[in-house]
Amino acid sequence: MSLLEVQDLSMRFGGVAALHQVGFVVEEGTITALIGPNGAGKTTVFNCVTGFYRPHQGSIRLHRPEGALELTELLGGPFRGRDFASPGAFFRRLKYKIAGGSHLAARAGVARTFQNIRLFRGMTVMENLLAAQYNRLNRHLLSGVLGTPGFARAEREGIRRASAWLEFFALLEDANRLAGELPYGKQRRLEMARAMCISPRLLCLDEPAAGLNPQETAELAGWIRRLRQDHGVTLLLIEHDMGLVMEISDHVVVLDHGEVIAAGTPAQVRRDPKVLTAYLGLDEPSP
């Protein structure tokens, strides 16, 4: 069963076509890698999927048990002709125009990390994870100020969940350190732990292995596998480390110049002449 269905996705920045009719499917419970040379549009796809960009065309559907959600609508685009034909579409458009935003993608179950790590650097590691659970904790102002039992229970549960993810990513002893003080590798892990705190269905990792040494990369592969196996998370990742991509992914989508040029298992993609051309710049694809 597919979790994410991207169809006909096009995006322009001024005159530059960043994406042109991109389409791919992420099956539930798999690890899908998005690869391609620099400037191929991988991060643009990510930003569309996680609700940061509104594509000019196309659809991104997230299939959840409670129904499919069109992620491209969340940012509240301009009214279209067919919105006036059906009241449901009209009110949905109006709702997202007023109260839409990137945060709704996260609430729908799409979490992400960033290529250049974006932590809350001045806060402690634990506070980073608690801040991520904003929507799950008791946000009632009065009960928080008075410190009611319900509030304390919710906080404790939040600390427990955060501790569990810190333990998972081997960050437990750093819980009360400032996030900005951590070494680079740990910052990458903390960002993943923070994203996991919102219990996503789909976790999008933007170059998780960038800047890691070979040993750390191997550990990362282990964590990514365990996320999928033990916690049922579906993963979509952008990665330049081909060793890692070929090792862990079930499905690889190759982008070049904003178009999908190949998709399939790692073995298929590795042999694909178009992929070799894109990466190695061969004129004539050898058979």
Which residues in this chain contact another protein in the complex, by CB under 8 A?
50-52, 101-104, 106-107, 111-112, 114, 118-124, 126-128, 130-135, 137-139, 141, 144-145, 147, 151, 156, 159-161, 163-168, 172, 175-178, 194-199, 231
**DSSP code string of 127-165:** HHHHHHTTTTS---HHHHHHT-HHHHHHHHHHHHHHHHH
Q: Distance between CA atoms of 92 and 149, rounded to whole angstroms?
A: 38
- Phi, then psi, of 108 in degrees rounded to 5: -75, -10
Nearer to another protein, 131 or 246 (CB): 131
Nearer to another protein, 30 or 163 (CB): 163
Task: Tell the smallest beta-carbon distance from residue 174 to another protein (Å).
Answer: 10
Q: Token pair for residue 45?
A: 């796809």
Indicate the helix (H) or strand (E) that contains 189. helix 184-196
Q: Token pair for residue 69?
A: 């959600």
Task: Tell the smallest beta-carbon distance from residue 144 to another protein (Å).
Answer: 4
Task: Tell the smallest beta-carbon distance from residue 9 to another protein (Å).
Answer: 19
> Which residue's structure tokens are 């952008």?
238
Nearer to another protein, 203 or 262 (CB): 203
3-state class (DSSP) for residue 200? coil
Nearer to another protein, 83 or 127 (CB): 127
Task: Tell the smallest beta-carbon distance from residue 180 to another protein (Å).
Answer: 9
Helix extents (H) in 53-102? 87-99
Nearer to another protein, 65 or 287 (CB): 65
Q: Identify whether the C-beta of residue 161 lies closer than 8 Å to the C-beta of residue 105.
A: no
Task: Tell the smallest beta-carbon distance from residue 42 to another protein (Å).
Answer: 17
Residues 57, 60, 61: CA angle, nearest 5 degrees: 140
